[in-house]
Structure 1
Amino acid sequence: MVRTRGLGRALGVGRGDRDDFDDAPQRRRPTASARRQRVAVTADHIDESVIPAPDVQDDPMEVPAAVEDIPADTSAEAAEDQPQGFPGGPSGPSVLTVYADHVACSVWTGEERLELKLSSHGRKVHSLGRPVPAIEGLIAGTGLSPLIACSIDTGDRGLLSAFVERWHRETSSFHLPVGELTITLDDVSSLLHLPVIGDLHAFEPLHLDDAVQMLVDLLMVSPESARAETVQCRRLYVRLQWVHDIYQCRCQAGHWTAAARAYLLHLLGCTLFANKSATNFHVVYLEALRDLSKTERYAWGVATLVHMYD
């Protein structure tokens, strides 16, 4: 059994991470269901004049039958116990725990939602081009060559937006009118042509000094340049353009192994491990490129699915 833990912890993210919703307005759940409102109205508007008053000479513990047949308090308590749910959504939030912050709730209530921002690194991959002949063998040996041709420059924004709005993080699936649909390892293998069987690299959390030293050792940059880049990108991140420039410099100097690492790091940052910034990515992925002879053993398809779910 391969190890599947470490990537989310190394990046400092996980299923509990809710940074995707930091900029979204907070939603309020409905205070009561329609059924509860109906019960409350019925109970509050009973005409007491139609209820015969008990005879004072009778037993004070005896209650008229007409009064016993009006379970006002019981109905209200039963309505309280029932899950309130969401209009047009789940009746109980036990599974879709963040449904109140989901765009589907805004769509149903008619609230205005922010425009979806779509980013593509296809042009960045095309501008870098195919690897120079001196490192073609190294790149092909890693099994990551199919990623060079998998990026697109543009797409159907409406279609992509519709799928994103149907995605729920709690279940890692699309909730469609025909049922639930999820992305499987077979889909990753068929679309990206990446291995889904093999070893999974055990990523460990990085300290800033460790990240700088890794850039110095594996990309052959100066400590000053590496530290300045990490400081500019807020510690453990580097820019795609910076790695692009490093690749060209290593090719000009004839440092082919470092050039191959820079090329692959840029490729991974544009495809498998892209993030919302659209400009930079985490340094931790460089560790998987330390020994290029072992890179092909990794189950990159599994890492892709784990990164997407996190």
Structure 2
Amino acid sequence: MVSYGVSMIMDCTHPDGGYPGGPRDPNLLQLHKDHSSYYNWEGHEKMEIRIDERAHQLGDWNLTKKQILLVNASRLGGLSIIQLSQIDHPLITDNTNRWRSETNSLSFNIQIGEMTPTLFDVYEILTLVVDGAPVTYRPINDYREYIESQLGEVPLEATMLTRYLQFFEDTEQASGYAWGVASLAYLYRSLEKSCTFKCRHFSGSTTLMQSAME
């Protein structure tokens, strides 16, 4: 296995133009030089990716009735009934290597052609709403002060990224967010990173990836 170094420089260009094992016209896939396949063609094997999946922890939540009402009011309650399966690491890894950021699709060298998870998949698999206000993040200058203002105290152990608290300041407003769109966009962004040779982790929804590809 050849590890990746930032100083590695490769010039995998085809004598007739384009890339060996890839398109002859480099304008078709302009991000190909960062893609895993670009290095694999020259014998440089990508290290195994790490999958950051936390969906299995949903079953460990011990919520009060009041808390359950608040989760349902934000239209995220459907996540609690998802039937979680074991992560298929080879499938996720293979699909990340097939991802093409130029087209936001998985490329298969068979009759299937190209495939991609859609908003319909998000709605059907994750039961998240796909219409509503965009989920946008605003910068927070003082996290400690913000957490204390929202929770009344600063927990000794943080169980989530504190910047996400801002989306639940108002339960009524939270119910109007297009959570499904944010989930799909986050998956696309994660695939865009993990398909490159340098990136060694995947943090999108494996539940969505595995179910959509079955």
TM-score, length-scaled by structure 1: 0.53
Counterpart check, 1:216 vs 2:148: yes
How far is 1:144 from its partner?
0.2
Aligned-residue CA RMSD (Å) = 2.6
Partner of residue 139, structure 1: 71
Partner of residue 286, structure 1: 165
Within-5 A mapping of 1:64-143: 84-129=17-62, 131-143=63-75
Partner of residue 122, structure 2: 188
Q: 1:27 to 1:157 in 2, by over 3 A?
A: farther
* Partners of 1:166 and 1:176 within 8 A in 2: yes
**Aligned pair count?**
184
Partner of residue 12, structure 2: 30
Partner of residue 299, structure 1: 178
Counterpart check, 1:170 vs 2:86: no
Partner of residue 204, structure 2: none
- In the alignment, the residues of structure 2 paired with residue 23 and residue 127 of structure 1 have an alpha-carbon distance, to the nearest angstrom, of 40
- In the alignment, the residues of structure 1 paired with residue 126 and residue 169 of structure 2 have an alpha-carbon distance, to the nearest angstrom, of 23
Which has a greater percent of helix? 1
Q: 1:105 to 1:297 in 2, by over 3 A?
A: same
Partner of residue 132, structure 2: 198
- In the alignment, the residues of structure 2 paired with residue 32 and residue 201 of structure 1 have an alpha-carbon distance, to the nearest angstrom, of 43
- In the alignment, the residues of structure 1 paired with residue 94 and residue 116 of structure 2 have an alpha-carbon distance, to the nearest angstrom, of 15
Q: 1:195 to 1:31 in 2, by over 3 A?
A: closer
How far is 1:31 from its partner?
4.6
Partner of residue 68, structure 1: none
Q: Read off the aligned partner of 2:49 and give its amino acid letter.
A: L
Q: 1:206 to 1:309 in 2, by over 3 A?
A: farther
**Which whole-Å deviations, capped at 9, do the CAs of 1:173-214 have from their partners, x for residues lacking one?**
11112322122211111111111111224422332x2x3332
How far is 1:27 from its partner?
5.4
TM-score, length-scaled by structure 2: 0.73
Structure 1 unaligned spans of 5+: 1-21, 36-83, 230-240, 244-265, 267-280
Structure 2 unaligned spans of 5+: 190-214
* Partners of 2:104 and 2:188 within 8 A in 1: yes
Identity rate of aligned residues, in percent? 27
